[in-house]
């Protein structure tokens, strides 16, 4: 058995890509190892959204220099967004890297690894075309996504799966590298998505998470029929055996009435929306070229809450973007105070070479100011998340059990489990292995900003329940 070490940073798209690469390499006789020293092949699936994510990978590569000298036939590969962005630069900074593969060429990984092993010392670069390097169709084709037939044994859990419905992005927010590294927005045909969902369910999958950079912008015309995202949700809802449908990440402007209506009316749709606002000030949204005003974001948010009072909404925010004044930052604080997001992911602006903001807008907010604003916004969000979670004390929630909790202390058959509610809240409780994959009622007795703590409710089956069951069965 050959040994594979793989490290993944970044978003769910990368997690899915890594899962598929691992599945392909397993077919070639690889098994996973947690140690770079004993691995025959070391792969990094990388992210370029912020400088920090790239720095981490370059230092991990730096640490491999001696290992490669000690074991020259160890194949070292860099995949994903940083591979697409930096290309030859990776070989320059780490000359012992064997392969550099963009997110559109991941299907070639097994072959590239094989070739690298057969001809050591020859470096291989496989990436897609840049956004200006050809006709749109040719560029699109060069960003082919990697969605081979799924292998159920390769998923982290057999009852949950990511399903890619869209690749790339055409929104071109000025700070963002994604449109250049993941290429033009392309929606997968509904027939493929539905077939994949059916296959996953037939293998025991209960929950699917649809992935796209602006997932709710998905639309596709197939055999003369124009499908909207809401139509896809309805199509998936009809897949028998599927219990939960989630999707990330949503784009505020495309949260149209038909989408909200579908989520509200379809019981399998998780009542959770990740709709990044990015900022609370109109001037900053304009500089970011987000394509909406704060009034429009608020209107979308209020509409979602009005239609589904229990919906959980989360957001992303960037602090310290070019020209951000204290007053503008306070407008972000105001938006968070007003919308009371279930959670927010907060990032300090990181200038990305090749983006519009790097070309045209100065990165002029000092790092200590970015850090302070980050902490201030985080403290406010944590306060809100905690108060919001406290509303659940004493209530009963339906939890899809995902597996042992991070610090699961196993005692015999009992262990600490974790799962999620229909509004995507994490719940931790004591249980046993058999409950993994089941949907259980849990009574909540404690809560902090990020977690609800509870106990499984075991109803005593009384005479009424028996008669009810009798009348049904
Ligand atoms: N700097 C900081 N954060 C960024 N994001 C995207 N690009 C940058 C950048 N250059 C954030 C956005 C996005 C999330 C995935 O990462 O908030 O929603
Ligand atoms: Fe980046 Fe904007 Fe596209 Fe999101 S919508 S991936 S932030 S360009």
pLDDT at 135: 85
Between CA 79 and CA 458 the distance in angstroms is 47
Residue 467 pLDDT grade (very low, low, confident, very high; cuts 50, 70, 90): very low
Cα(172) to centroid of ligand 2, in Å?
Answer: 6
Answer yes or no: is pLDDT of 358 > 90. Answer: yes
Give the pLDDT mean for 177-198. Answer: 94
Q: What is the pLDDT of residue 173?
A: 98
Residues paired with 452 in a beta bridge? 427, 447
Q: Is it the case that residue 164 has pLDDT exceeding 50?
A: yes
Which 3-state string (H, E, C) describes the chain? CEEEEEEECCCHHHHHHHHHHHHHHHHCCEEECCCCCCCCEEEEEECCCCHHHHHHHHHHHHHCHHHHHHCCCCEEEEEEHHHHHHCHHHHHHCCCCCEEECHHHHHHHHHHHHHHHHCCCCCEEECCCCCCCCCHHHHHHHCCCCCCCCCHHHCCCCCEEEEECEECCCCCCCCCCHHHHHCCCEECCHHHHHHHHHHHHHCCCCEEEEECCCHHHCEEEECCEEEEHHHHHHHHHCCCCCCEEEEECCCHHHCCHHHHHHHHHCCCECCEEECCCECCCHHHHHHHCCCCCHHHHHHHHHHHHHHCCCCEEEEEEEECCCCCCHHHHHHHHHHHHHHCCCEEEEEECCCCCCCHHHHHCCCCCCHHHHHHHHHHHHHHHHHHHHHHHHCCCCCEEEEEEEEECCCCCCECCEEEEEEECCCCCEEEEEEEHHHCCCEEEEEEEEECCCEEEEEECCCCCCHHHHHHHHHHC
pLDDT at 134: 84
Q: Is 423 annotated as a binding residue?
A: no
CATH label, 139-386, candidates 3.40.50.1100, 3.80.30.20, 3.40.50.2300, 3.30.930.10: 3.80.30.20
Closest ligand by atom to 322 CA: 1
User: What was the pLDDT predicted at 473?
Assistant: 27
Provide the pLDDT for residue 149: 65
pLDDT per residue as tens digits for the range 379-409 = 999 999 999 999 999 999 999 999 998 776 6
Distance from residue 173's CA to the centre of ligand 2 (Å): 6
pLDDT in tens, 93-108: 999 999 999 999 999 9
176 labelled ligand-binding? yes
Nearest CA to ligand 2 atom 1: 176
81 is in an annotated binding site: yes
Q: Which ligand is nearest to the CA of 252?
A: 2
Is the pLDDT higher at 406 or at 57? 57
Please name every residue paired with 46 in a beta bridge, in sequence order, or none if there are none: 80
Residues with CB under 6 A from ligand 2: 169, 171-173, 176, 178-179, 213-214, 251
According to the model, what pLDDT value does residue 1 have?
Answer: 87
Q: What's the average model confidence in pLDDT over 73-84?
A: 96
Q: Model's pTM, two decimal places?
A: 0.93
pLDDT band, residue 148 (cuts 50/70/90)? low
Which protein residues touch ligand 1 with a CB less than 6 Å away? 49-50, 175-176, 276, 278, 316, 318, 347, 349-350, 352
What is the atom index within ligand 2 of the atom nearest the CA of 169? 3
pLDDT in the model for residue 471: 33
| Residue 472 scores a pLDDT above 50 | no
Pick from 316, 317, 344 the residue to mutate for probing ligand 1's pocket: most ligand atoms within 8 Å of its CB.
Answer: 316
Structural contact between residues 460 and 450, judged by C-beta atoms closer than 8 angstroms? no
32 DSSP β-pair partners: 4
Alpha carbons 423 and 361: distance in angstroms, whole number: 38
**pLDDT confidence tier of residue 143, bands split at 50, 70 and 90:** confident
Q: How confident is the model at residue 410 (pLDDT cuts 50, 70, 90)?
A: low
pLDDT, tens only, 238-266: 999 999 999 999 999 999 999 999 999 99
| Best mutation site among 81, 179, 289 for ligand 2 pocket (most ligand atoms within 8 Å of CB) | 179
Q: Which CATH superfamily is domain 2-133 in?
A: Methylthiotransferase, N-terminal domain (3.40.50.12160)
Using one digit for the tens of pLDDT, what is the confidence trace for 294-338? 999 999 999 999 999 999 999 999 999 999 999 999 999 999 999
Annotation-wise, does 169 bind a ligand? yes
**Residue among 81, 318, 355, 371 whose CB has most ligand 1 atoms within 8 A, to mutate:** 318
Which ligand sits nearest to residue 182's alpha carbon? 2
The per-residue pLDDT for 468 is 38
Check residue 350 and give its pLDDT: 98
Average pLDDT, the chain: 92
CB contact at 8 A, 246 and 207: yes
Measured in Å, residue 343 CA sits from the centre of ligand 2 at: 19
pLDDT over 60 at 465, yes or no: no
Task: Enter the tokens of residue 179.
Answer: 């449109």
Q: If you average pLDDT over residues 43-53, what whole number do you get?
A: 97
In this predicted structure, what is the pLDDT of residue 461? 52
Ligand 2 centroid distance, CA of 142 (Å): 20
Closest ligand 1 atom to 345 CA = 17
Spatial CA neighbour of 106 closest among 59, 167, 36: 167
Cβ within 8 Å of residue 147, ≥6 positions away: 20, 164, 188, 192, 196
State the pLDDT at residue 466: 39
> Which atom of ligand 2 is nearest to 290's Cα?
2
Give domain 393-466's CATH superfamily.
Answer: Nucleic acid-binding proteins (2.40.50.140)
> Using CA atoms, how far apart are residues 9 and 18, in angstroms rounded to an integer?
10
Q: Is the pLDDT of residue 79 over 70?
A: yes
The domain locations on the chain are 2-133, 139-386, 393-466
């Amino acid at each position: 058995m050959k040994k594979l070490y793989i490290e993944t940073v970044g978003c769910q798209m990368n997690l899915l890509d890594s899962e598929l690469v691992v599945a392909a390499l397993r077919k070639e006789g690889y098994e996973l190892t947690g140690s770079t020293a004993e691995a025959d092949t070391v792969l990094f699936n990388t992210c370029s959204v912020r400088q920090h994510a790239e720095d981490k990978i370059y230092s991990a590569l730096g640490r491999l220099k001696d290992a490669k000298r000690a074991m020259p036939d160890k194949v070292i590969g860099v995949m994903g967004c940083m591979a697409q962005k930096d290309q030859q630069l990776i070989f320059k900074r780490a000359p012992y890297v064997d392969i550099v593969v963009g997110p559109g060429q991941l299907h070639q990984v097994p072959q590239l690894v094989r070739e690298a092993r057969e001809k050591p010392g020859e470096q291989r670069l496989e990436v897609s075309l840049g956004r200006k390097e050809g006709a749109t169709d040719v560029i699109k084709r060069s960003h082919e996504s990697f969605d081979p037939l799924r292998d159920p044994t390769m998923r982290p859990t057999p009852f949950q799966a990511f399903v890619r419905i869209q690749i790339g992005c055409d929104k071109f927010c000025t700070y963002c590298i994604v449109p250049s590294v993941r290429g033009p927005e392309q929606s997968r045909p509904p027939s493929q998505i539905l077939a994949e969902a059916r296959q996953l369910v037939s293998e025991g999958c209960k929950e699917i998470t649809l992935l796209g950079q602006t997932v709710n912008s998905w639309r596709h015309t197939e055999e003369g029929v124009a499908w909207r995202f809401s139509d896809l949700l309805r199509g998936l809802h009809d897949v028998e055996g599927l219990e939960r449908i989630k999707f990330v990440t949503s784009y505020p402007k495309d949260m149209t009435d038909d989408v909200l209506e579908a989520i509200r009316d379809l019981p399998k749709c998780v009542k959770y929306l990740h709709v990044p606002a990015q900022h609370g000030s109109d001037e900053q949204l304009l500089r970011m070229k987000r394509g909406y005003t704060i009034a429009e974001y608020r209107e979308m948010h209020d509409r979602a809450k009005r239609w589904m009072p229990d919906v959980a909404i989360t957001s992303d925010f960037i602090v310290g973007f070019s020209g951000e004044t204290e007053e503008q930052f306070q407008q972000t604080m105001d938006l968070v105070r007003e919308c009371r997001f279930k959670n927010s992911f907060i990032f300090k602006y990181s200038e990305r070479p090749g983006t519009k903001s790097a070309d045209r807008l100065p990165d002029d907010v000092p790092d200590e100011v970015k850090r302070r604003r980050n902490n201030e916004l985080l403290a406010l969000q944590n306060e809100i998340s905690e108060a919001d979670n406290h509303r659940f004390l004493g209530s009963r929630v339906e939890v899809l059990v995902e597996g042992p909790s991070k610090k699961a202390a196993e005692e015999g058959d009992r262990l600490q489990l974790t799962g999620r509610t229909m509004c995507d809240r994490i719940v931790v409780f004591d249980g046993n292995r058999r409950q993994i994959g089941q949907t259980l009622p849990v009574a909540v007795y404690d809560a902090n900003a990020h977690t609800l703590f509870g106990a499984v409710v075991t109803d005593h089956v009384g005479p009424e329940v028996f008669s009810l069951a009798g009348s049904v069965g």
